Amino acid sequence: MVWSGSLADPTPRRRRTDAATEAAVLALRDQHPTWGGRKLRARLRALGTVATVPSARTITAILDRHGRLDPVESAKHTAWRCFVHPAPNDLWQLDFTGHVALGAGRCHPLTGLDDHARFLLGLVACADEQEPTVRLALTAIFQRYGLPWAILSDNGPPWGTPHPTQPLTVRSIWLIRLGIVVPHGRPHPPQTHGNVERLHRTLKADVLRGTPYRDLATCQAAFDAWRMTYNVERPHHALDLTPPVRHYQPSPRPFPAPLPEIAYGPDDVVCTVRRGGQIAYQGRDVFLSQALRGQPIALRPTLTDGVLDVYYCQHRMGHLDLRGAAPTLQPGTPRTAEPV
């Protein structure tokens, strides 16, 4: 063994990384200021521009030695622990990051993320969070990647409503018509939407922090460039430090145009929701949802006499208990007597 120290200090000293490798590490870090040692190492290995790629720990030491680490920011980088669906397009997560100022107006960034592959399906610079804007953005994503089996969003506007007696919005009704399941997360814990929340944190650090963009067009150009990097280049910790593009494939379910017809079973009682959000059944008015006005819903018997399940397309809204004086829509059990 060859010692680099003196006989009085026989501890071997690690050989310092050569200048060319350090330069490559620092150049890549300057391109991606939020990437840590593991991501930088994985990307350097993928690029093949360095003969011997240092360990993640060595890369972190290089960054620290050259003043590239912020202790406050480093402390924020704790991993989310989330359930991950087993296949692409089993579940997408949708959300707005919160609006940001532009040179002229404001931008409402809309993100769509595949839960399995962490593939960023869409990053859209929206002028607002209104229904026409969101539907146009989602339609473009559906046309490019097909339809998922389910979409997860939070409970509040614009995705849903926190009121259990009026659980649907015009947007969720449109998704249901497309054959997409629309569960909603619990109101408070961000871990329910951990993957998209973690994405938003990275997006804010990489793109939205600093000088505001001039307008929506320049903001969208920055989003498009960053989305390409995120999907194709950036190593992801949850994917064994491989980029999301290696794990995603488009859905085999195409976006339909026009929307499919609504069809119910022969034993269903079909009622049309009136303008105020009510249906008339057995001489009584029952409020369901104003978002459903003009739409047909189905009532199906359950194992409990006088209790009916309420369906819109394939989506079970809840049940009606007709045994009381004023029946209202209730979430949860009971279930239908026969499988649907």
pLDDT of residue 4: 46
pLDDT of residue 80: 43
On whether residue 257 sits in a domain, the answer given is: no
Rounded to an integer, the average pLDDT of 309-322 is 91
State yes or no: pLDDT of 178 exceeds 90: yes
pLDDT digits (tens, 9 = 90+) for 118-143: 999 999 999 999 999 999 999 999 99
pLDDT of residue 52: 80
d(CA 163, CA 333): 17
Q: How many CB atoms lie within 10 A of CB 326?
A: 8
Please report, for the domain that includes residue 174, its CATH number.
3.30.420.10
Residue with tokens 């997409």: 180
Same domain, 124 and 207: yes
State yes or no: pLDDT of 301 exceeds 80: yes
Same domain, 297 and 239: no
Q: How many CB atoms lie within 10 A of CB 284?
A: 13
pLDDT digits (tens, 9 = 90+) for 31-69: 777 777 777 888 888 887 777 888 877 877 777 777 776
Same domain, 298 and 239: no
pLDDT of residue 81: 45
Binned at pLDDT 50, 70 and 90, residue 83 comes out as low
**pLDDT higher at 194 or 254:** 254
pLDDT of residue 257: 84
pLDDT digits (tens, 9 = 90+) for 270-294: 999 999 999 999 888 999 988 899 9
Do the beta carbons of residue 124 and residue 219 sit within 8 Å? no
pLDDT of residue 60: 77
Looking at the structure of the chain, the number of domains it has is 3
Same domain, 122 and 151: yes
pLDDT of residue 278: 92
pLDDT of residue 40: 80
State yes or no: pLDDT of 308 exceeds 60: yes
d(CA 129, CA 119): 22
Same domain, 23 and 146: no
**pLDDT higher at 182 or 111:** 111
On whether residue 258 sits in a domain, the answer given is: no
Same domain, 281 and 230: no
pLDDT of residue 271: 96
Of the candidates 27, 44, 76, which is a domain's last residue? 76
Rounded to an integer, the average pLDDT of 80-94 is 77
On whether residue 5 sits in a domain, the answer given is: no
Rounded to an integer, the average pLDDT of 241-261 is 93
Same domain, 102 and 213: yes
Same domain, 54 and 156: no
On whether residue 262 sits in a domain, the answer given is: no
Mean pLDDT of the residues in the chain: 82
On whether residue 81 sits in a domain, the answer given is: no
- Predicted TM-score (pTM) of the model is 0.73
The residue ranges of DSSP E strands in the chain, in sequence order, are 92-96, 100-101, 106-114, 120-126, 151-152, 269-272, 278-281, 284-287, 296-301, 307-312, 315-321, 329-330
On whether residue 163 sits in a domain, the answer given is: yes
Rounded to an integer, the average pLDDT of 237-255 is 92
Same domain, 190 and 225: yes
Q: Which domain holds residue 274?
A: 269-330
